[in-house]
Amino acid sequence: MDFSPAALRAHFKALTAKREKIDVHLDPLRAELDALVAGDTKLTVKKAKEREAVIREEIKNLQAKLFPIENERAAVARALGGKTGEPE
């Protein structure tokens, strides 16, 4: 295993890309949940509650996939002393 700063930075970047792929699915669900909770929907109350339950399960499932990625990102960030990227 290569634990050089350059390799760790590359690994951090790869993990961030993995997170972003999950966020692509998660962000719209969170936006829809916000709208439902705010009552900003054309659905009936019953249908809105049914949809909310489905969304919440999907969010939980996606968060379960994110968890190991986020923990590893944190570990790599610590290993790099917080210097995960080259200054622009």
Q: Applying CB under 8 A, which residues contact another protein?
A: 16, 23, 30, 33-34, 37-38, 55-57, 59-60, 63-64, 66-67, 70-71, 73-74, 77-78, 80, 82-88
Q: Shortest gap between Cβ of 84 and another protein (angstroms)?
A: 5
10 Å Cβ neighbour count for 23? 14
Nearer to another protein, 37 or 47 (CB): 37
Q: Does residue 69 contact residue 22 with C-beta atoms inside 8 Å? A: yes
Q: Shortest gap between Cβ of 2 and another protein (angstroms)?
A: 20
Q: Shortest gap between Cβ of 81 and another protein (angstroms)?
A: 9
Structure tokens at 85: 């990227």
Q: How distant, in Å, are the alpha carbons of 45, 60, 82, 86 from that of 26?
A: 23, 10, 26, 28
Nearer to another protein, 16 or 43 (CB): 16
Nearer to another protein, 2 or 88 (CB): 88
Q: Residue 62: which of 18, 16, 12 has the closest Cα?
A: 18
